[in-house]
Amino acid sequence: MTDKKKLLFVNDEMEMGGVARVLNTLIEHLPEDLYDIDLLVLHAHGAMLQDVPEKVRVIHGSPFFSAVDASLASLWAEKDWRGMAAKIRLLLYMKTGAIKKKIEKERRAVLDTQYDVEVAAKEGFCTIFTAYGDSKRKINWVLTDYSVRNYSSNHMRLVRQALENIDLNIADSTQALVAYKTVFRVQNGIALHNLMNTETILQKMQADTPELHDSALPKVITVVRFHPQKSVDRLLLASRYAWDHGCPHDLYLIGGGEEEEKLLKMKEELGLDHVYFLGYKDNPYACMHQCDLFVLSSLYEGFATVISESLITGTPVLTTRVSGCDEQITDPDYGWICENTQQALNEGLTEALRDPARLKEMKEVLKNYTYPNTEILQEFIRVL
């Protein structure tokens, strides 16, 4: 039997969101007989830290990285002067190029192993961190569509130099891969969908859902971080439009985040008495399973795992046209893709709700939906 490979994943934080969830899911599924796995969290905080599998050693980054996941604007708004000083220091290192030597020094302070494979679990600063380490094989995981939003626009030269040291870029959808290769002028990339925690979803979706009202109206749901990228305000406007055009329904919002106050205010101003904020839930799948339609109103994505999660729970999806969606909504019984505008979302939601019987037919078809986890895992193991 061959020795196990030493594998390191690097993430900047573990806040609730798609990146942390897909990372934990991948780590959980990787065979223990093949890998010894460490997870370095540069700024070690976030609710998803508690969901890291027990087989993984979690390593905290040094204080130098305490502001790696924060923006200057957010730190200013919070009057976090210490955080601002840390962020400015980090940015100065990046602007001058001194970050390369600094990373080498900080790695020595927190890492005690040379790894066979190191994966930057989020493109951007994690890419730079991995590129200037001493791991034998370096992989960059791309989880957003850079043709729509370039998070590295202020550091293009630094990132492109770092990518010269990366052996493989893995994007979670074909569109995300094409965009990344175009923006950063790289060729060494493949598209590989995210793993889903199918067994857990199927088990949790059977739980009771006392939060949902016993109503004859169609039940619409979204599960999302209340962040500008997710554009939940557009969903509230579309819900108002659908009601005004003869399609009454109940709308349930699971999640939380920086835009929650804004969204609650919108609910009052628009008179959306049929909209219910359920907060963050460890188990959103039971509610998803009991609803008739899931809606994703995002401005951009890489590969929206929540679309596949909804299909696994047996609930059809209406999504704006984002990266990866046409690789998920591959059958008319799975749902609808509308153009990424407010008017298209308005009309898409109204169309989906106009025929509740059709939604029930789609849910029947989705009872036989399967997600190709085995094939995806085999491909991850091959490229690692």
- Same domain? 136 vs 211: no
On whether residue 380 sits in a domain, the answer given is no
Strands 5-11 and 275-279: unpaired
384 occurs within a structural domain: no
Considering the domain architecture, whether residues 9 and 99 belong to the same structural domain is answered as: yes
Residue 336 sits at the vertex; the CA angle it makes with 338 and 267, to the nearest 5 degrees, is 65
C-alpha count within 13 angstroms, C-beta hemisphere, residue 31: 11
User: Is residue 215 located within the same domain as residue 243?
Assistant: yes
Query: Is the sign of the CA dihedral 352, 356, 358, 360 positive or negative?
Result: positive
Asked whether residue 16 carries a pLDDT value surpassing 80, the answer given is no
pLDDT average, residue stretch 242-247: 97
* Alpha carbon distance 295, 252 (integer Å): 10
* Digit-coded pLDDT (tens) for 274-314: 999 999 888 999 999 999 999 999 999 989 999 999 999 99
Q: Of 157, 192, 227, which residue is a domain's last?
A: 192
Residues 121 and 249 in one domain: no
pLDDT of residue 302: 86
* Band (163; pLDDT cuts 50, 70, 90): very high
271 within 8 A of 243, measured Cβ to Cβ: no
What share of the chain in percent tops pLDDT 70?
99
163 and 24 housed in the same domain: yes
pLDDT score at 47: 85
Q: Is residue 263 located within the same domain as residue 165?
A: no
Co-location of 28 and 132 in the same domain: yes
Exposure b/e, 72-111, CB count within 10 A at least 16 = b? eeebeeeeeeebbebbeebeebbeeeebbebbeebbeeeb
**CATH number of the domain to which 157 belongs:** 3.40.50.2000
Largest CA distance in the chain: 66
377 is a domain residue:
no
Per-residue pLDDT tens digits for 337-378: 999 999 999 999 999 999 999 999 999 999 999 999 999 999
CB 240 within 8 A of CB 315: no
Residue 2 banded pLDDT, cuts 50, 70, 90 = low
* Distance, CA of 63 to CA of 110 (rounded, Å): 11
Asked if residue 101 and residue 18 are part of one domain, the reply reads yes
Residue 192 has pLDDT above 80, yes or no: yes
In this prediction, residue 1 carries a pLDDT of 46
Q: What is the pLDDT of residue 372?
A: 94
| Alpha-carbon span 127 to 190, nearest angstrom | 16
* Residue 15 shares a structural domain with residue 139: yes
Domain count, the chain: 2
Q: Which structural domain, as residue segments, surrounds residue 167?
A: 5-192
- pLDDT tens readout for residues 87-102: 999 999 999 999 999 9
DSSP string, 257-300: -TTHHHHHHHHHHHT-TTEEEEE--S--HHHHHHSSEEEE--S-
Q: What is the tens place of the pLDDT at every residue in 23-82?
A: 999 999 999 999 999 999 999 998 889 999 999 999 999 999 999 998 898 899 889 999
149 pLDDT band (50/70/90 cuts)?
confident
Between the CA of residue 361 and those of 60, 221, 286, 336, what are the distances in Å?
49, 18, 19, 14
Both 157 and 106 in one domain: the answer is yes
Pair 16, 88 in one domain:
yes
Which pLDDT score, from 0 to 100, does residue 88 have?
95
115: left (phi over 0), alpha (psi -120 to 50) or beta: beta
Average pLDDT over the chain, rounded to an integer: 94
**What is the C-alpha to C-alpha distance for residues 383 and 316, in angstroms, rounded to an integer?**
32
* 305: in domain: yes
Residue at 94 is within a domain: yes
